[in-house]
Chains A and B, each alone.
Chain A
Amino acid sequence: MTTATHQPATAADTFAARRQSPVQRVQQVLHAYPTISPVLVLIAASVVFTIVNSRFADPQSLSLVFQQVAVVAALAIGQTLIILTAGIDLSVGAIAILSMMIMAKLSMDHGMPGIPAIIVGIAVGTLAGLVNGLLVTRIKLPPFIVTLGTLSVFTALGLLYSKGQSVEAASMPAVVNWTGTTFAVGQFRITVGVVLVLVLYAITAFALSQTGWGKHVYAVGDDAEAARLVGIRVNRVLLSVYTVAGLIYGITAWILIGRAGSASPNALTDANLESITAVVIGGTSLFGGRGLVVGSLLGAVIVGVFRSGLSLAGVDDQYRVLAIGVLVIAAVAVDQWIRKVRA
C-alpha cells in the first residue's frame, strides 16, 4: 500500500482511476469475491419464498431442505475440485452408486461387519477416482471423454455386482445407515449425513485455501503450462484431485444410504448434472482456476430452496427445473463477464 507513493501517478493512471462506472465497480467486486452472487441469490430467494408462504422459513421445512441437498452437496465437493482444474466429472453418480452397492452387498449378503464394509466401499470409490485420474494424466484423454466412458463402466459394474437389486437399509448393520440418524438442534432436525457433509466442506475449504496443494490446484486449472514452468508437477496434482474426488464420492455413498433408506443401483440418475449445476451456480468457473468450494454448498442449497419454496408456493415443479436452468445460464454469463476485468 505504501509503495505507490514512490512513483508519481501519470495522467493515464489518474484517468484510469477516475473512469470507473458503478457497473465496473460491481464487476471488480464480483471478480474479487465471486461467491457474492450465489449469496445474494440465496438471500433474495429465501426472502421472496418466505413472503409468498411463511412456512418456507419453518425449521421443519428448512431441515428438510438441508437433508434433501446433502447428497448433491457432497458430490459437488469432488466436482468442484475437478472443475477447478478445468476438468469435468460425469462419473460422479456412477462412482457413488458403485461404492454404495458394495457397502450394502458386503454387509448384507457376505455378512461383513458394517465398518469394514463401509471402508471397502469408500476404497472402491477412491480407486474409481484414481482410474479417472490415471486416464486423464497418463493416456492424456480429455476429462469429459474419460468420465463419459467411466460413467458407463462404473454404472454397469454397479448393476452387475448388485444384479440390479436394491437392498433395504433396515436389513443392513446399523452403522451403514447411521448417516440417516436425525437429532435435534433447537427446532431443526439434522441428520448425521448433513453434519458429515459440512465437515467435508470444512476440510476441503481448508485444504484449498490454506495449503500449498490448494494453490497448486488453482494454478493447474488456471494455466497448466505456466504451472508446469514454475515447477509444479501438474500430473501429480491432477491425479490427487481425481483420487480425492473419488474418496468424497465414496463417503457420499454412505450418506446416500442413510438418506434414501435403501441402496438402489438405479438411484442418483441426475447426480452428474445436479452436481455440476451446484458448482456452476456457486460461482466456480467451468474454465478452471477460480471459485470457492463453499460456493458449491450455496449452489446446492439454492437448488433445494427453489424446490421447497416453489412447491410451498403451490407452483408446478417444472417451474423449479425452469428456474434452475435460467440460474445456470445466468451464473456462467456472470462468470464470463467478471473474467474480463482488467486493471
Chain B
Amino acid sequence: MTQLAHGSAPAPVPPADTRQPVLEARSLVKTFGRVVGLDGVDLQLFPGEVLAIIGDNGAGKSTLIKCLTGAYTPDAGEMLLDGQPVHFKRPQDARDAGIETVYQTLAVAPALDITSNLYLGREFRRKGPLGSVLRMLDKKAMRDNAGTSMSDLGIGTIQNMSQAVETLSGGQRQAVAVARSAMFATKLVILDEPTAALGVKETGQVLKMIEEVKNRGLPVILISHNMPNVFEVADRIHIQRLGASAGVITPQSHTMSEAVAIMTGATTLAETPGRAG
C-alpha cells in the first residue's frame, strides 16, 4: 500500500462545491420498525471522483448503499441523478438509470465463461432473423468486446475469455465483476466491500481497477472497512456514524487514525478539522 497513484492529485474538493453532483442524496431516512437505519443522510458524488464511505458496523453504510442502488426505498428524503430526482423501486431501476453495483459476494455464475458472465442479462443478439426470430446470440461480438474491455481495465492476466469463471482466482473473479459494471455503467459504479473476500495481492488488482474506472471518467462509490485501501484510492471520504453523516474528509486533510476516531465517535470533525479544513 505504498504507491499512492493519484496522478496529478487535484486539490481536495471543498465541501461547498458548486459543480453539479452526479449523484446526490438529501436527508435520506430509512427506518425498520423502531430501528433507525438512516437518520437524514446527505451525500454528494462529483464527476470523476472516488468517494469512499466508511463507518463502523451498524453505522448505516449498507442501508445507505441499498437506498442508492434501489434495493431499499428510502422513507423520506430525495435522490438526484445529474440533478434530476430519481425514485428507485428495485435494483433494476438503478441499473437502468446507469448505476452499476459490484457486491462483496462475487456475484458471478461460476460455471459460465468470462464472456457470458460479462454479458449476463444483457446479451447481444445476432442481426437479422437469426437474432430476432431464433434469438441467437452474437457470441463473437461479445467475446471480442469483452476482451477489449478487460484489457482496457488493465486485466492482463486473464488469457482466455471462454474460460469458466470458477477456474479464476478470487481477485480475477472480482475483476470480472468490476469489468462488467464498468462496461455498462453510464453514471457511476458502486463497489460494496469489493475486497473483503480477497487477499492482499488480489486487493491490489481491484484497487488498480478502481483507478482505471475513475480514469475513464466514471465516478466510483467505494464502501470499505479497510482504511489503507480507502486512503489509497479515495478522493473524498464520507464518514457514516450512527445512521448519520459524521462529515466528509480527504486523505490529505486527515490521517487514518483521525478518520477512525471520527468513525467511532472518539472525536468529531468539528474537533478535528484536519490540515485542509
B125 smallest CB distance to A (angstroms): 7
Secondary structure at the A interface, as helix, strand, loop or mixed, is helix
A-B interface, 8 closest residue pairs, ranked by CB to CB distance from nearest:
A6-B156, A229-B107, A212-B123, A219-B109, A222-B109, A226-B107, A343-B167, A231-B121
Which A224-251 residues have a C-beta within 8 angstroms of B? Answer: 225-227, 229-232
> What are 10 sample pairs from A and B whose C-beta atoms fall under 8 A apart?
A3-B150, A3-B156, A4-B156, A212-B121, A212-B123, A215-B112, A218-B109, A223-B107, A223-B108, A343-B168
CB–CB A4/B91 < 8 A: no
CB–CB B169/A343 < 8 A: yes
A233 smallest CB distance to B (angstroms): 9
Size bin of chain B's contact surface: 35 or more
Which residues of chain B have C-beta atoms less than 8 A from A226's C-beta? Answer: 105-109
CB–CB B125/A231 < 8 A: no
CB–CB A290/B111 < 8 A: yes
Which A185-218 residues have a C-beta within 8 angstroms of B? Answer: 206, 210-213, 215-216, 218
* A31 beta carbon closer than 8 Å to chain B: yes
From A6, which residue of chain B is reached at the shortest CB distance?
Answer: B156
Question: B residues near A, CB below 8 A?
Answer: 91-92, 95, 101, 103, 105-112, 116, 120-123, 125, 134-137, 147, 150-151, 155-160, 164, 166-169, 180
From A341, which residue of chain B is reached at the shortest CB distance?
Answer: B167
A85 smallest CB distance to B (angstroms): 12
CB–CB A215/B107 < 8 A: no
Which residues of chain B have C-beta atoms less than 8 A from A206's C-beta? Answer: 134
CB–CB A231/B91 < 8 A: yes
Size bin of chain A's contact surface: 20 to 34
CB–CB B111/A231 < 8 A: no
CB–CB B112/A1 < 8 A: no
From A5, which residue of chain B is reached at the shortest CB distance?
Answer: B156
The CA of A289 and the CA of B110, in the complex, are separated in Å by 9
The CA of A7 and the CA of B155, in the complex, are separated in Å by 9
CB–CB A229/B103 < 8 A: yes
The CA of A206 and the CA of B120, in the complex, are separated in Å by 18
The CA of A6 and the CA of B159, in the complex, are separated in Å by 11
Which A14-66 residues have a C-beta within 8 angstroms of B? Answer: 31-32
Which residues of chain A have C-beta atoms less than 8 A from B105's C-beta? Answer: 225-226, 229
CB–CB B112/A218 < 8 A: yes
CB–CB A227/B120 < 8 A: yes
From B108, which residue of chain A is reached at the shortest CB distance?
Answer: A226
Which residues of chain A have C-beta atoms less than 8 A from B112's C-beta? Answer: 215, 218-219, 222, 289
Secondary structure at the B interface, as helix, strand, loop or mixed, is loop
CB–CB A230/B168 < 8 A: no
B51 smallest CB distance to A (angstroms): 22
CB–CB B156/A219 < 8 A: no
Which residues of chain B have C-beta atoms less than 8 A from A223's C-beta? Answer: 107-110
Which residues of chain A have C-beta atoms less than 8 A from B180's C-beta? Answer: 230
A337 smallest CB distance to B (angstroms): 14
The CA of A211 and the CA of B160, in the complex, are separated in Å by 21
The CA of A289 and the CA of B166, in the complex, are separated in Å by 12
Most buried by A among B105, B108, B158: B108
From A4, which residue of chain B is reached at the shortest CB distance?
Answer: B159
From B181, which residue of chain A is reached at the shortest CB distance?
Answer: A230
CB–CB B167/A342 < 8 A: yes
Which residues of chain A have C-beta atoms less than 8 A from B107's C-beta? Answer: 223, 225-226, 229-230
Which residues of chain A have C-beta atoms less than 8 A from B147's C-beta? Answer: 3
Which residues of chain A have C-beta atoms less than 8 A from B109's C-beta? Answer: 218-219, 222-223, 226-227, 289
B96 smallest CB distance to A (angstroms): 9
From B159, which residue of chain A is reached at the shortest CB distance?
Answer: A4
A211 with B158: in contact, given A227-B109, A232-B120 (CB under 8 Å)?
no
The CA of A168 and the CA of B125, in the complex, are separated in Å by 48
With A3-B147, A222-B109, A230-B180 already in contact, 10 other A-B pairs whose C-beta atoms are closer than 8 Å: A1-B160, A212-B125, A212-B137, A215-B112, A215-B123, A222-B111, A223-B107, A226-B107, A289-B111, A341-B167
Which residues of chain A have C-beta atoms less than 8 A from B120's C-beta? Answer: 215-216, 219, 227, 230, 232
Which residues of chain B have C-beta atoms less than 8 A from A1's C-beta? Answer: 159-160
From A211, which residue of chain B is reached at the shortest CB distance?
Answer: B135
The CA of A225 and the CA of B91, in the complex, are separated in Å by 13
Which residues of chain B have C-beta atoms less than 8 A from A6's C-beta? Answer: 156
The CA of A193 and the CA of B140, in the complex, are separated in Å by 36
Which residues of chain A have C-beta atoms less than 8 A from B92's C-beta? Answer: 231
Which A303-343 residues have a C-beta within 8 angstroms of B? Answer: 341-343
From B101, which residue of chain A is reached at the shortest CB distance?
Answer: A229
The CA of A231 and the CA of B96, in the complex, are separated in Å by 10
A232 with B121: in contact, given A218-B109, A289-B109, A341-B167 (CB under 8 Å)?
yes
From B125, which residue of chain A is reached at the shortest CB distance?
Answer: A212
CB–CB A210/B166 < 8 A: no
CB–CB B116/A32 < 8 A: no
The CA of A1 and the CA of B156, in the complex, are separated in Å by 10
A25 smallest CB distance to B (angstroms): 14
The CA of A212 and the CA of B219, in the complex, are separated in Å by 30
Please pick, from A7, A213, A222, A342, the residue contacting B156 in the complex, using a CB distance under 8 A.
A7
The CA of A71 and the CA of B82, in the complex, are separated in Å by 59
B68 smallest CB distance to A (angstroms): 15
Which residues of chain B have C-beta atoms less than 8 A from A232's C-beta? Answer: 120-121
